[in-house]
Amino acid sequence: MLSRMPEATSYVCPVCEARSSTSSLTWCCPRCRGPWDLDFTAAPTALDTLAGRVDSLWRYAEALPLSQARVSLGEGRTPLVRLADGVSAKLDYLMPTLSFKDRGAAVLVELARRLGPERVVADSSGNAGTAFAAYCARAGLPCAVYVPEGTAPKKLEQIRAYGARPEVVPGGRVAAARAARSAADEPGVFYASHVFNPYFLHGTKTYVYELWEDLGGRLPDTLVLPVGNGTLLLGAALAVAELRAAGLVERRPALVAVQAEPVAPLARAFAAGAADAEPVPAAPTLAEGIAIPAPPRARQILRAVRESGGAFRTVTDARLRAAQRDLARRGLFVEPTAAACWAAVTASPPPGETVLPLCGAGAKTGLAP
């Protein structure tokens, strides 16, 4: 039985313009089976209106499609620290479940709580799964997380600790997603997809709202972002567009997207000038969190990077390994995927002021061998 309606009322397909009510459990466009966008206009307010508000991402209430959240663990408001001259890192691994995915999970599970499904399913290589497991526990919703074989044992342990059920799927990330989507088509199931559901993107966009606040009402010259399914990059692009539309920033930062060299369909498409990405074979890489052979939002990601004047970078496992150790020597212990942006920046520093995220804690994986 569906319960209280959320504030935004309509999903819209960016490809064929089909629509569906956000009170439904329809997880993708029924015509083209693509991801949804959200028919929602943010109205962010000036810095001086934020004083005294809750110290979490929910302080940006006018920019979020849901308000008055009950499902919160105090997520957001992570520190911004300097790494080198002109380069700072936002420590998003200091989130309740130790990754940036809490930003999107908090918003998406709040939606699920209001809709009241019989159960929630998700798919993940680890971090999104742990985030959904935690926030579903907070919301009192049963949750199953489909993960590929080879997922880090600590991440599986974390999912189980929250009371969710990990479903280990033979094969890679694509196989896990396929299994979750099959379960999502069953009656009464809410598919907490960080790829297909746009509420997740509206959570990740708070990364940029926080930067804007941290920097006193401005944004850096360049945002360097890891990209697999592109949820953080697309959230960042969404926030920049909203801040510009509200007259709160004048220019957009360049978006520099980082992929793992063994699995880089978007970087390949960008270099070829293509509007969409062709799938690539799955391949082993230390950056398992961004090793996505066929990102469903590839067109949107490529367009966002091009419109920002940005670029793509790829990093090898050797550079990831070195970057993880270098960050640890600076007092920042992150998982190998989270070291990808630092690996790219040290290899080719962008001009001007640059900010990158450190997205997942090293305690989840340990040092790369």
DSSP annotation string for 175-238: HHHHHHHHHHTSTTEEE--TTT-HHHHHHHTHHHHHHHHHTTS---SEEEEE-SS-HHHHHHHH
SS3 state at 140: coil
Give the side-chain half-sphere CA count within 13 A for 20: 20
144 burial via Cβ count (<10 Å: 0-12, 13-18, 19+): buried
Edge-to-edge strands, sheet with 19-21: 19-21, 10-12, 37-38
Contact between 65 and 38 under an 8 Å Cβ cutoff? The reply is yes
Contact between 323 and 83 under an 8 Å Cβ cutoff? The reply is no
* Measured distance CA(348)–CA(324) in Å, rounded: 17
- Give per-residue pLDDT as tens, 101-114: 999 999 999 999 99
Q: How many residues in total does the chain contain?
A: 369
Beta strands 37-38 and 10-12: pairing type?
A: antiparallel
DSSP 12: E
* Measured distance CA(86)–CA(165) in Å, rounded: 43
Pick from 141, 238, 156, 125: nearest CA to 191: 141
- Read off the tokens for 140: 């009192």
In the chain, DSSP finds a helix count (H) and a strand count (E) of 11, 13
What element of type H or E holds 122? Answer: strand 119-123
Ranges of the chain with pLDDT below 50:
1-6
Q: Return all residues near 14 (Cβ < 8 A) that are at least 6 apart.
A: 34, 35, 37, 300
Predicted confidence at residue 3, as pLDDT, reads 36
178 C-beta neighbours (distance < 10 Å), count = 13
- Give per-residue pLDDT as tens, 52-84: 999 999 999 999 999 878 999 999 999 999 999
* Measured distance CA(143)–CA(191) in Å, rounded: 10
- Read off the tokens for 311: 């670029």
What type of residue sits at position 220?
Answer: P
What type of residue sits at position 269?
Answer: A
22: left (phi over 0), alpha (psi -120 to 50) or beta: alpha
Place of tokens 């069953």: 186
Place of tokens 């189980």: 160
